[in-house]
Amino acid sequence: MSYLTVQDLHVSYGPVQALRGVNLKVDEGSIVSIIGANGAGKTTLLNTLSGIVKPKSGSILFSGKPLPAKACNIIRAGLAHIPEGRKIFPGFTIEENLLAGAYIVHDKKLVEQRRDAMYARFPILAERLQQQAGTLSGGEQQMLAIARGLMSDPGLVLLDEPSLGLAPLVVKAVFELIREIRDKGGKTILLVEQNAKKALALCDYAYVLENGAIVLEGQGQELLSNPAIRKAYLGAE
């Protein structure tokens, strides 16, 4: 039994079919990547997992159980979604952003403990805890979004294009952070990325999404050397 099992998932926005029968599995403790072009349906898939978008048909099992019906209860089941475009709260202080991430945690001591752990891991945030989050640089905002996503101590983390719009050095840091969250934090990660090369190099297993359907899957290294992938996603001749 996999940690997360998605079977024959169909999602439509009115007449637009965004997902047409997606199947995938995520094993506990693994990093799984989903790569695909713009409009392939990657964000739709993550939004469906976190309950923001309702599926037309298909099943999602998390730890062998169906997910709660209301979107706001999904995080209580242990699934945190760090959304596309970071979506930090720009008018909040950094501290308030972290507290929002721990909204479901009622033990104040525990919240403070986790917050301090985040400050220890991200000294840049600690230096500016009373600064408005909207004034942070793009890279700092991404770090904050990830830190906020970890505040509920989820079992599974959904990450939607964390490297979007970041400078190469920062992208590198983000990918190292993702590995660290799995290796040290013991979390399972489902990562959506346009940066196919880095995502495939990092992950244990990967799926290629095209026009709402999985067209290829395999171990990261395996896909990296697949000629079709190299041509379509890695810019090789």
Partner 1 sequence: MLQNIFFGLSLGAVYSLVAVGFALVFNILKFSNFSHGGVMSFTAYAGYLAYIWIFDGRISGSVMFLAVVLTAAVAGAITAVGIERVGFRRLRRNQAPVIYYFISSITLGILLENIITIFASSNFYSYPVFFSSKNIEILGMSFSVADFVTLLFSAAALAILLFVLYRTKLGLAVRTVSFDVNTASLMGIDADRVVMATFAMSGALGGISGVFLGMNYSLYPQLGQLVVKGFIASVIGGLGNITGAVIGALLLGIVEVALIGMVGSGWMPACVFVIMLVFLLVRPRGIAGVIVQEKA
Ligand X SMILES: Nc1ncnc2c1ncn2[C@@H]1O[C@H](COP(=O)(O)OP(=O)(O)OP(=O)(O)O)[C@@H](O)[C@H]1O
| 36 binds, options partner 1, Mg ion, ligand X, none, Cβ within 5 to 8 A by partner type | ligand X
* Complex with ligand X: residue 41 or 149, whichever CB lies closer: 41
Residue 43 as a binder of Mg ion (CB under 5 A): the answer is yes
DSSP state of 205: E
Residue 152 as a binder of partner 1 (CB under 8 A): the answer is yes
Alpha carbon separation from 138 to 9, 178, 215, 228 (Å, rounded): 33, 17, 33, 33
Q: How far apart are CA 37 and CA 113, in angstroms?
A: 40
Residue 216 sits at the vertex; the CA angle it makes with 85 and 189, to the nearest 5 degrees, is 45
Residue 124, classed as helix, strand or coil, is helix
Residue 18 as a binder of ligand X (CB under 6 A): the answer is yes
Residue 33 as a binder of Mg ion (CB under 5 A): the answer is no
Contacting partner 1 (CB under 8 A), which of 11, 22, 44, 51? Answer: 51
Residue 47 as a binder of Mg ion (CB under 5 A): the answer is no
Q: Residue written as tokens 């408005």?
A: 132
Residue 186 as a binder of partner 1 (CB under 8 A): the answer is no
* Complex with Mg ion: residue 37 or 104, whichever CB lies closer: 37
Q: Please list the residues that pair with 10 across neighbouring strands.
A: 20, 57
DSSP state of 102: T
Q: How far is the CB of 61 from ligand X (least distance, A)?
A: 21
Residue 107 corresponds to which amino acid? D
E strand residue ranges, 70-229: 79-82, 156-160, 188-193, 205-210, 213-219
Interface residues with ligand X (CB under 6 A) are 13, 16, 18, 36, 38-44, 84, 194
Interface residues with partner 1 (CB under 8 A) are 50-52, 70-73, 75-76, 80-81, 83, 87, 89-92, 96, 99-101, 103-104, 132, 134-138, 141, 152, 165
